[in-house]
Amino acid sequence: MRVPVMKDYPDHHDADLILRAYLLRREPVLREARKVMAVEWWPSSLEDLRAIAAWEHPLNAAFRQVTGYWELIYGMARHGIVHAEYMAESSGGEGLMVLAKLYPYLEEFRKISSPGFLRNTEWIATETDAGRELFGRLRAGVEQRRAAL
Average pLDDT rounded to a whole number, residues 81-93: 86
Helix pair angle (119-127, 94-102), 10° resolution = 100
- Indicate the residue type of 49: L
The reported pLDDT for the residue numbered 147 is: 86
Residues 6+ apart with CB under 8 A from 137: none
Query: What's the pLDDT tens digit per position in 94-143?
Result: 999 999 999 999 999 999 999 999 999 999 999 999 999 999 999 999 99
Query: What's the pLDDT tens digit per position in 58-73?
Result: 999 999 999 999 999 9
**Residue ranges of the domains in the chain?**
12-148
Question: 80: pLDDT confidence band, cut at 50, 70 and 90?
Answer: confident
